[in-house]
Structure 1
Amino acid sequence: MTTVLRITFLLALAYGGFCLLLFATQRSYIYFPPPTSPTDPATALMLDAGGVPIHVSAHAQQAGDAVLYLGGNAEDVDASLPELAAAFPGRALYLMHYRSYGASGGKPSERALVADALLLFERLRGSHRNITVVGRSLGSGIAIQLAAQRPVERLVLVTPYNSVAEIAALHFPYVPVAWLLRDKYESWRHASEVQAPTTLIAAGQDEVIPRASTEMLATHFKPGVAVLQVVKGAGHNTIGLQGQYVALLAGAH
């Protein structure tokens, strides 16, 4: 074997090993469970998802209408309670902790998290007339699939993406992401099936989700269904600190 062939072989072997490593560890790049905070039994709703406990923080459960919140990939959803309570006064609030987050068991995956969200929605339908679904960042990809399959009252997507596969390809441009990625969260595939009024809230200075990705997602909804709002000067993780954020959650345009 010539030196050139030997080097080429070693490079190919290293590249293949890198791709294999990414494939094996890919979910560690998507899901970042935050440190577990104490669970208040008085405000905890536990679902049984086929033997896996799913922790849901619940507030004002006796209200007639409800909000189901699906957070970001590294978010302790309880931290979002103040702005949700301000945006949706008088509504019951349900904040789902993904698998391995909070007191939830199991391991997260796209299929599992969407199934858990559907399970929670069906649980809430028995006691609430109208349910608004709010999905932030990673949660936007779960929320849009839920809204495509169930009669939600309204859908709010905060810093949403067209697909996680596209975002991953930006970070790993020399890797065949489309072949390797298991959890693609292709939100664009589900947008046209959403019937509920939808608000997309983008951060003007989002350093994680490119504005083009959010704008592309908006084009996949049926005409008149979705409206895109941009919070100028906000970053991906600081959008909740902006004054207009609560108003946009509430539906003020």
Structure 2
Amino acid sequence: MDRRGQVAQLEIRKVLTLGLRAALLLAVAYAGLCLLLYFTQRSYIYFPPPTTATDLATALMLDADGVDIHVSVHARQADDAVLYFGGNAEDVDASLPELAAAFPGRALYLMHYRGYGASGGKPSERALVADAQMLFDHMRSNHRRITVVGRSLGSGIAIQIAAKHPVERLVLVTPYSSVLEIAARQFPYVPVNWLLSDKYESWRHAVKVNAPTTLIAAEHDEVIPRASTDQLLAHFKPGLAALKVVRGTGHNTIGIDGQYVAMLREN
């Protein structure tokens, strides 16, 4: 091989070496991104609001294996009750006026997730569903009929309770088919299915629900795509669930519209 050929061969080797190094760096960066998302994933799901003053004299405190679970309670002595699970950044006490207006004469139980309000611990799907189950069991011994309401993130907890128990009615506000699906849309180039621990796959539980169900969507929901809500609706038994839309509202403004309270109330 002449000198010109040797020089060309060396240049090719340099290019290949640089290409391999670049590919390796990209692979390491991608793996690092995946690891970062894995270890910080719950910070993208749960956003505890600032702690506000709590009247613990009227609250119910449950013991979940040494972890305090704070439940706000209104009209505890009523025969029938409503169990409410809020959004991922919601102070559920703020929803009390709407719930009281929608369900007059009923006891109201609003669960503060782990790390929210006066509840201890850290939130995860498994822990929150277990806490919800414990609260439901407590309520069932004191109330004849229980309506379960879940908003946004809480819809994924409410549907799991309704799938296991004979509740009077299920109401899902701005619900999704699964958090996994929402996360996959936000991170399309990441293997979310492998990384995500709290998938909240509501569609898996919908078919097991036997209670009359109302899904309430915001017309201009900027967080939960309508397609996700429609997909969830399709998994209920035929004729069991109905979708209602609050016109002119978004994901976080749906509760301030007068239509919202009326839809909560309607069977």
Name the TM-score class by shorter chain: over 0.9
Q: 1:198 maps to what in 2?
A: 213
Instruction: Give 1:227's match in structure 2, choosing from 242, 249, 258.
Output: 242
Whole-angstrom distance in 2 between the partners of 1:71 and 1:9:
44
Q: Is residue 2:246 matched to residue 1:212?
A: no
Whole-angstrom distance in 2 between the partners of 1:121 and 1:143:
10
Instruction: Give 1:111's match in structure 2, choosing from 110, 126, 132.
Output: 126
What is the one-letter code of the residue matched to 2:53?
Answer: P
What is the one-letter code of the residue matched to 1:164?
Answer: V
How many residues of Structure 1 are paired with residues of Structure 2 in the alignment?
252
What is the one-letter code of the residue matched to 1:79?
Answer: A
Whole-angstrom distance in 2 between the partners of 1:33 and 1:146:
22
CA deviations over 1:104-139 (Å, ceiling 9, x no partner): 011110011001001000000111110000000000
Whole-angstrom distance in 2 between the partners of 1:69 and 1:112:
16
Alignment of 1:176-195 (within 5 A): 176-195=191-210
Question: Following superposition, which runs of at least 4 residues in structure 1 exceed 2 angstroms of deviation?
Answer: none
Q: CA RMSD in A?
A: 0.8
Q: Is residue 2:33 matched to residue 1:56?
A: no
Whole-angstrom distance in 2 between the partners of 1:169 and 1:41:
40
Q: 1:86 maps to what in 2?
A: 101
What is the one-letter code of the residue matched to 1:78?
Answer: D
Whole-angstrom distance in 2 between the partners of 1:221 and 1:178:
24
* Displacement of 1:247: 0.5
What is the one-letter code of the residue matched to 1:204?
Answer: E
Whole-angstrom distance in 2 between the partners of 1:166 and 1:197:
25
Q: Is residue 2:54 matched to residue 1:39?
A: yes
CA deviations over 1:21-70 (Å, ceiling 9, x no partner): 00000000000000111110232100011111100000100001000000
Q: Percent identity?
A: 77
CA deviations over 1:193-214 (Å, ceiling 9, x no partner): 0000000000000000000000
CA deviations over 1:90-117 (Å, ceiling 9, x no partner): 0000000000100001111001100100
Whole-angstrom distance in 2 between the partners of 1:228 and 1:41:
37
What is the one-letter code of the residue matched to 2:229?
Answer: T
TM-score by length of 2: 0.93
For residue 170 of structure 2, give the secondary structure of its aligned residue in structure 1.
strand
> Which 10-residue stretch deviates more, 35-44 or 237-246?
35-44
Whole-angstrom distance in 1 between the partners of 2:121 and 2:107:
26
Q: Is residue 2:174 matched to residue 1:159?
A: yes
> Which 10-residue stretch deviates more, 56-65 or 1-10?
1-10
Greater C-alpha Rg: 2
Whole-angstrom distance in 2 between the partners of 1:42 and 1:99:
20
Q: 1:168 maps to what in 2?
A: 183
Whole-angstrom distance in 1 between the partners of 2:59 and 2:101:
20
